[in-house]
Chains A and B, each alone.
Chain A
Amino acid sequence: MVTIYIDDKSYEVEKGQNLLQAVLSLGLNLPYFCWHPALGSVGACRQCAVIQYRDEDDKEGNLIMACMQPVQDGMRISIEAAAARKFRASIIEWLMVNHPHDCPVCDEGGECHLQDMTVMTGHNYRKFRFKKRTHRNQYLGPFINHEMNRCIACYRCVRFYRDYAGGKDLQDMASHDYVYFGRSEEGILQSEFSGNLVEVCPTGVFTDKTLKKHYTRKWDLQSAPSVCHHCSLGCNTLVGERYNKAVRILNRYNRRVNGYFMCDRGRFGYEFTNSNKRIRKPIFEGKVEDFDRDSAAAKTSELLKDRSKVIGIGSPRASLEANFALKSMVGEHNFYSGLSARENKLARKILSILRNGPARPASLHDVETADAVFVLGEDLTNTAPMLDLAVKQAIRNKPIDDIQQIHIDRWNDAAIREYLQDEKGPFYLATPSWTKLDEFAAKTYRAAPDDIARLGYAVAHALDESSPAVEGLPDEIKTMAEEIAGALKNARQPVLISGMSMRSEAVIEAAANVARALCRDDRKADIVYTLPECNSMGTAFLGGYDLEKAFEDVENGTADTVIILESDLYRHADKTQVDKFLEKCANLIVVDYLKNRTSEGASAILPAAAFAEGDGTLINNEGRVQRFFQALNPDPILQESWRWIRDIMIKLDDKKAEKWKALDDISDAVLNSLEGINPKIEIAPSANFRINEQKIPRAPMRYSGRTAMYADKSVHEPKPPDDPDSPLSFSMEGFAGPRPSSLISFFWAPGWNSVQSVARYQQEVAGELKGGDPGVRLIEPGDHAKPEYFKTIPDAFKPRQDEFYFVPLYHIFGSEELSNEAEAVSELVPDAYLALNKRSAEKTGVSSRDKVKVSIKDGQISLPVKIMNSLPDNIAGIPVGLPGMNYFELPAFGKIAK
């Protein structure tokens, strides 16, 4: 801690930061543009000027840029000095010289950092009498709208896009007044993190194209804190609603999880809630019925009168509450997790590895601060996109640590990048095919999943002799394993990343072995496993039988009525098997929000609330339990899946369900049912939480149109709906002061209308949220755990004559079920294909785009060939989850025929 004097008042601030950071952390106002807490300082915009004085007697002082000045003990500065104020106002005046008269038609208006800073400096009249420079815009794809006229050349966009996120196709071009930020040629932005430009850009150059379709100002959005449903990482989001429609997603800062950024699948995938595939009315025997909740539940319960033969299939994309309700309804012995045997096995394996330790499950933030990374089998960009971004930060840590002797502060971004150039820390990547992270890796290894696992085992053995050795390893792999082991050993904080995407138990065990070997000599290591869906980890906690057993049960007649919860079975099991299963079911009851192949022939379909329309709890891949809240109040017939199940249970006279009046009741019941979990943990404040006896408003104070929004239907304004599930109100009324961090529904502070106001919600800039980051970690293994090594080392991959080994490939846009139904995302979903390298293709006598018949076990599909030279010989890649693709149990051998 050091003492600095700002305008003759003394303040205690943390050492090692820059003055701007310190000033903002103290809650003072100082305008800035080019600085960003995650991107650091470059001192380009000259907006954060303050006066620094030599000592108490110095009355003149000199002008310095706060973002470029480290805090020093006894430092005297003035923010309010007339010279500093005048300087800052003139900078804004310069920036505004070419700024168009666009605010009324600009999507940034009302949450614009440039507007805020202009008001803050007091510049209000344009003296410049000459012409404004103009630019032509570019088409940048379905996510981002480009309006270059509004640019003030702060360079934040390229600093984020290129330096931080490793993108290549967005550039700064031309010079002085002509500076242009765009692509060399119009086209879709290639980065998976392009959506962050919307929040990074301080003005309206890059805006959200999906919001533009139904544009609404920030002050008119009723928002709720939510958790992303599009992968297992559980990024925190804000869902904005207007006229009963989710209209946009913003990042919700949580230092431990997603920090300042999120991926495009998470940001734009929300549009599935407005898709025309939504189930909005109960459907009985294919007929859409105008029932109310009660009669729909009553009619469904008739199908369940004889309860001896009822089974329930849960889902990894449904909340804990929904899965739990179904489990309670059908009983533990009739509950199926919705995962195939292999998926179940892998998810539970991961859970047990994390629980046994001693490696800690790492959060995204932990990965960002790691200094050596070893990835086994995961194509992170496509299976857990935010981990890709975190790894890109991690690889800079070692070189930055190494240059501490030249005393450049970490926030001094331009200087550090200049000094380090392309230097990268240890990052090793083993995957079957090329990934976008390849270019950042020190070494990559292309092989079949079993060989990847062998590399992992070899690394573990190199780290600790007592771990099992791999027989018959080629010399080059041995050397690579030793190199990797050396890098991990010397690291301050090594992190292992693996996951379920290769569907290989061996890979998961190998990663655990490396972590365990690392932890042997009192070293610490972090481990991350990615899972396929938002609540896959929750499913592993809850348990349930494999899908295959459900198929058997129906086949041999022990069950005939099936309740399927938010799940498309065709994504988890072979098509012919599911066809047969659905055929055999006497009664099929589906509770879901999207129509899919599974629900096509259902006897009853009940319309469930999607994430924006209901509350629930999810467990992410690190075992962090997080609550998502309802943002909009849908048609009364839509309700959370657990409520449908409760209503049916009540109709069937099941006494358990009568206690589940609101979310808290069932949420407590879930926590009580989980083994090894302290049931007293508070995931989020309970529904009766109040501040000054008031609820917490979802909408900002300036929410408009209350007496006209629905006046076309009735002039009697409806009473804001009650929310029995949360302390949030469906209105702007309620406690306007600081709120608990898990109930933040928008970021706003006086004078700070843009997302930059997040600094006012943090204990210090880029630090924890006031009151602690939301979410509770359920898995904290002890440091002293010494679990045994896994010993089942797989044999090296042996190609078979006339057969190929098929491995799964993933696409950020296309492999996830929900986002595929989002309008903007669906534009980027590729067509299904079969990937082969050139040699394999020539051997089979096929060339690019030829249609071939693929047969893997019983499954068959016809796919066009795509040449992917990064794949090893005799290995073929099959994209997972794309529209029109069938499920295959991969990796597996199969045949390709012309």
Chain B
Amino acid sequence: MISIIKTIWTVILHMFGKRETVQYPDEKVKLRPRYRGRIILSRDPDGDERCVACYLCSAACPVDCISLQATEDEHGRRYPEFFRINFSRCIYCGLCEEACPTYAIQLTPDFEMSEPERPNLVYEKEDLLISGEGKYPGYHFYKVAGLKIKDKDKGEAENEDEPIDFKKLLP
């Protein structure tokens, strides 16, 4: 008997409690920064594409929904010629983000990705590339790597000595 009254009392109390149900889509939900949603490609602090087309995201992807082709600009900087994610296959596991050595590929909290047609879920580089640095500001892969690119010669990366003149006889 007492237990029944207790239960009814709890239910009555809940009627006045804070509601968890959100009136989506009229009401927008709060997006947590660590939520794994729509994937983007970010840019480095200089505003250039961060992606160096290393293929690690596509190799890490358990559903093989990322494909790309590497190419180079005239100064030797590598970037993806195309970069395609088939979101109709993506499981938002975040392994691509973990595999990315340049912080280029990132998962955002945006989850609103329903489409009436599946082909619309195939995102190309133009759809993926954002204009900012995303979650990891400041990192610039080419400033760390030994490769020469436009406006960065050999020996100008972080922690690098001047290039060696191998014809000099002195040790």
**Residues of A with Cβ closer than 8 Å to B?**
100-105, 109-110, 130-137, 147, 149-150, 173-180, 182, 212, 214-217, 219-220, 242-243, 702-709, 711-712, 714-715
Contacts and interface: CB of A to CB of B under 8 A. Distances in A.
Contacts of B69: 214, 216, 242-243
21 contacts: A103-B101, A133-B164, A134-B162, A135-B163, A150-B146, A178-B164, A178-B166, A178-B168, A212-B72, A215-B53, A215-B71, A217-B55, A219-B59, A705-B64, A705-B65, A705-B67, A707-B64, A707-B86, A707-B89, A708-B122, A709-B84
Q: What 7 pairs across the A-B complex have the smallest Cβ distances? A: A100-B146, A705-B67, A104-B54, A180-B166, A708-B67, A149-B146, A704-B58
A134 B155 CA distance: 6
B145 A174 contact: no
B118 A715 contact: yes
Contacts of A182: 166
Nearest to B63: A707
B108 interface: no
Interface of chain A: mostly helix, strand, loop or mixed = loop
A243 B148 CA distance: 29
Given A149-B154, A715-B119, 10 more contacts: A100-B157, A102-B145, A103-B54, A132-B159, A132-B160, A134-B146, A215-B70, A704-B58, A705-B66, A714-B119
A104 B154 contact: no
B72 A708 contact: no
A150 B145 CA distance: 11
Interface in B69-84: 69-72, 78, 84
Nearest to B81: A214
A132 B155 CA distance: 8
A131 B164 CA distance: 13
A139 to B, nearest CB: 12
Contacts of A101: 144-146
B66 A704 contact: yes
B166 A174 contact: yes
B86 to A, nearest CB: 4
A179 B171 CA distance: 10
In the complex, which of the residues A212, A215, A705 has the most CB atoms of chain B within 10 Å of its own CB atom?
A705
A704 B141 contact: no
Nearest to A128: B159
A110 B141 CA distance: 19
Chain B interface size range:
35 or more
B39 to A, nearest CB: 12
Contacts of B124: 712
A220 B71 CA distance: 15
Contact of B52 (A105, A134, A714): A105
B126 to A, nearest CB: 12
Interface of B: 52-56, 58-59, 61, 63-72, 78, 84-86, 88-89, 101-102, 118-119, 121-122, 124, 141, 144-148, 154-155, 157, 159-164, 166-168, 171
Contact of A174 (B146, B155, B164): B164
Contact of A105 (B63, B145, B162): B145
Nearest to A243: B69
Contact of A715 (B72, B86, B145): B86
A746 to B, nearest CB: 15
Contacts of B101: 103-104
A134 B162 CA distance: 6
Contacts of B89: 707-708
A52 to B, nearest CB: 34
Contacts of A131: 159-161
A706 B67 CA distance: 8
A857 B88 CA distance: 70
Contact of B161 (A132, A136, A173): A132
Contact of B78 (A105, A177, A703, A714): A105
In the complex, which of the residues B56, B144, B147, B155 has the most CB atoms of chain A within 10 Å of its own CB atom?
B147
A447 B90 CA distance: 71
B116 to A, nearest CB: 13
A223 to B, nearest CB: 16
Given A175-B171, A708-B65, A712-B122, A702 B145 contact: no
In the complex, which of the residues B59, B63, B67, B84 has the most CB atoms of chain A within 10 Å of its own CB atom?
B67
B58 A705 contact: yes
A217 B78 CA distance: 14
Contact of B55 (A133, A704, A711, A715): A704
B59 A704 contact: yes
A708 B68 CA distance: 9
Nearest to B154: A134
Contacts of B65: 705, 707-708, 711
A704 B161 contact: no
Given A707-B64, A708-B89, A711-B122, A134 B164 contact: yes
Given A135-B163, A173-B166, A104 B56 contact: yes
B64 to A, nearest CB: 4
Contacts of A175: 171
A708 B64 contact: yes
A105 B147 contact: yes
B36 to A, nearest CB: 18
Contact of A708 (B85, B146, B160, B161): B85
B86 A135 contact: no
Contacts of B168: 174, 178
A220 B55 contact: yes
Contact of B70 (A134, A180, A216): A216
Nearest to B66: A708
Contacts of A178: 164, 166, 168, 171
A708 B155 CA distance: 38
Nearest to A176: B171
In the complex, which of the residues B55, B61, B124, B148 has the most CB atoms of chain A within 10 Å of its own CB atom?
B55
B166 A704 contact: no
In the complex, which of the residues A101, A132, A178 has the most CB atoms of chain B within 10 Å of its own CB atom?
A101
Contacts of B147: 100, 102, 105, 147
Given A219-B59, A705-B67, A134 B161 contact: yes
A149 B166 CA distance: 13
Contacts of A109: 54
In the complex, which of the residues B88, B122, B168 has the most CB atoms of chain A within 10 Å of its own CB atom?
B122
A704 B52 contact: no
A643 to B, nearest CB: 30
B24 to A, nearest CB: 27
Contacts of B102: 104
B164 A180 contact: yes
In the complex, which of the residues A103, A132, A134, A703 has the most CB atoms of chain B within 10 Å of its own CB atom?
A134
A448 to B, nearest CB: 46
Contacts of B66: 704-705, 708
B52 A104 contact: yes
Contacts of A708: 58, 64-67, 84-86, 89, 122
Contacts of A177: 164
B117 to A, nearest CB: 9
A219 B55 CA distance: 10
Contacts of A703: 64
Contacts of B71: 214-215
In the complex, which of the residues A100, A174, A220, A711 has the most CB atoms of chain B within 10 Å of its own CB atom?
A711
Nearest to A703: B64
Contacts of B154: 134-137, 149
A132 B146 contact: yes
A704 B67 contact: yes
Contacts of B85: 708
Contacts of B72: 212
Nearest to B171: A175
Contacts of A709: 67, 84
A704 B54 contact: no
B70 A100 contact: no
Contact of B121 (A133, A714, A715): A715
Nearest to B169: A174
A262 B52 CA distance: 31
In the complex, which of the residues B121, B122, B146, B163 has the most CB atoms of chain A within 10 Å of its own CB atom?
B146
A94 B155 CA distance: 20
